[in-house]
Amino acid sequence: MKNLKKYLVIAAVAVGIVALQSCDSNEIVDEQVSVTSITDYINVSNSFSLTTEEEITNDNEGVLKSVNPSGCLTVTIHENDNGEFWPRNWTLDYGTDNCETFNGNFKRGKINISLTDWWRNEGSLKEINFEEYYFNDNKMEGVKTIQNTGLNEAGNLTFSKIISDASITYADGSSMSWNCDKSSELIEGGDSFIFADDVWSVTGSGSGVNLDGKDYTMTITSPLIYINGCFYPVSGIIEIAVEGEELIIINYGGGECDNMATSTCCGITEIIDL
């Protein structure tokens, strides 16, 4: 009987250890590391900037601002059946193989663009759609609209830029969704027809579902400043709020044209390579 009791005690202890181990295992599963990186959030926003494509299609009676498109890009202007100049429709075809752009990014596929009126005229509306289009081997889908909202009190051109039903799908099949509503102000270069001197200030916010299936929002808390020739903002701050996670703050710096920024989360600030 004593031996039986001893065996029962040993068995109970063993069951308890297994139960504790099972509990620990569950806790480990619950604390999985997020798949979505800070760079993923930044890329989903920047991939839809389409600066070159927007410059090429800012057309006024056939006169374009100065642009330097890639050699592998074919631009087709579709004439209206009624002979009218407006609206204008373009197909920008980067081909079926990756086309390297001047800033080192790769594009392939087509972008279809329509414009109701000259981009400087208040009320003009541009719509951008993608046709089997890939940016750095990631498939992009969605619709981008840009509307001229006139001059503000400072006398600067302003635009509403909305991206809807957008997503980026990676080679492994994972994807992030993206919707945003931003306002852009041409704070320098508005008095010339040369894109090289343009400086833009961008405000607004966006949201979507990340690679982990969590809702996120991105809010510009200090205007993002873009200068021609720089793919990333040269200054400005974005806050990224992810469901159930600590707030992330991205700071693009003090005006340098580079691919560096800082991220702050949980009291720790790190330099990130965009």
Contacts of residue 205, defined as CB under 8 A and 6 or more positions apart, other chains included, come to 180, 181, 182, 217, 218, 219, 220
Confirm whether 23 is domain-assigned. no
Nearest to 161 by CA among 50, 40, 57: 50
- Rounded-to-integer distance, Cα 5 and Cα 17, Å: 18
Predicted pLDDT at 50: 86
Per-residue tokens: 114: 């329509």
In a domain, 17, yes or no: no
Q: Which three-class secondary structure state does DSSP give residue 29?
A: helix
pLDDT tier at 194, thresholds 50, 70, 90: confident
Residue pair 116/133 in contact (Cβ under 8 Å)? The answer is no
State how beta strands 235-242 and 248-254 pair.
antiparallel
On whether residue 165 sits in a domain, the answer given is: yes
The pLDDT tens digits of the residues spanning 101-160 come to 877 889 999 999 999 999 999 999 999 999 999 999 999 999 999 999 999 999 999 999
Residues whose CB is less than 8 angstroms from the CB of residue 87 and which lie 6 or more positions away in sequence, other chains included:
80, 114, 115, 116, 117
Residue of higher predicted confidence among 11 and 224: 224
Query: Structurally, how many domains does the chain consist of?
Result: 1
Structural domain boundaries enclosing 201: 36-209
Which three-class secondary structure state does DSSP give residue 4? helix
The yes-or-no verdict on residue 243 having pLDDT over 50 is: yes
Q: Is residue 119, in this structure, part of any structural domain at all?
A: yes
Q: What is the mean pLDDT of residues 207-213?
A: 97
**26's torsion region: left (phi>0), alpha (psi -120 to 50) or beta?**
alpha
Q: Is residue 21 part of a domain?
A: no
Residue 177 lies in a domain: yes
What six digits make up the tokens of 51?
A: 């600066």
CA distance 55 to 226: 14
Minimal CA–CA distance to 233: which of 46, 102, 74?
46
Residues in the chain, total: 274
- Cα end-to-end distance, the chain, whole Å: 71
CA distances from 113 to 99, 177, 273 (A): 19, 21, 32
Average pLDDT taken over every residue of the chain: 85
- Could you give the 3-state DSSP secondary structure of residue 87? coil
Concatenated DSSP letters of 208-262: EE-TTS-EEEEEEEEEEEEETT-SS-SEEEEEEEETTS--EEEEEEES--SSEEE
Q: Are 50 and 73 in contact (CB under 8 A)?
A: no
- pLDDT digit string, tens, across residues 65-112: 445 566 789 999 998 989 899 999 999 999 999 999 877 889 999 999
Please report the pLDDT score of residue 157 as a whole number.
96
Task: With respect to residue 124, please indicate whether it lies within any of the assigned structural domains.
Answer: yes
**Would residue 238 count as lying in a domain?**
no
Instruction: Find which of 11-15, 22-26, 262-266 is predicted with most confidence, using mean pLDDT.
Output: 262-266
Structure-block tokens of residue 196: 């090289």
Choice among 60-69, 150-159, 171-180, 212-221 with the minimum mean pLDDT:
60-69
> Does pLDDT of 231 surpass 90?
no
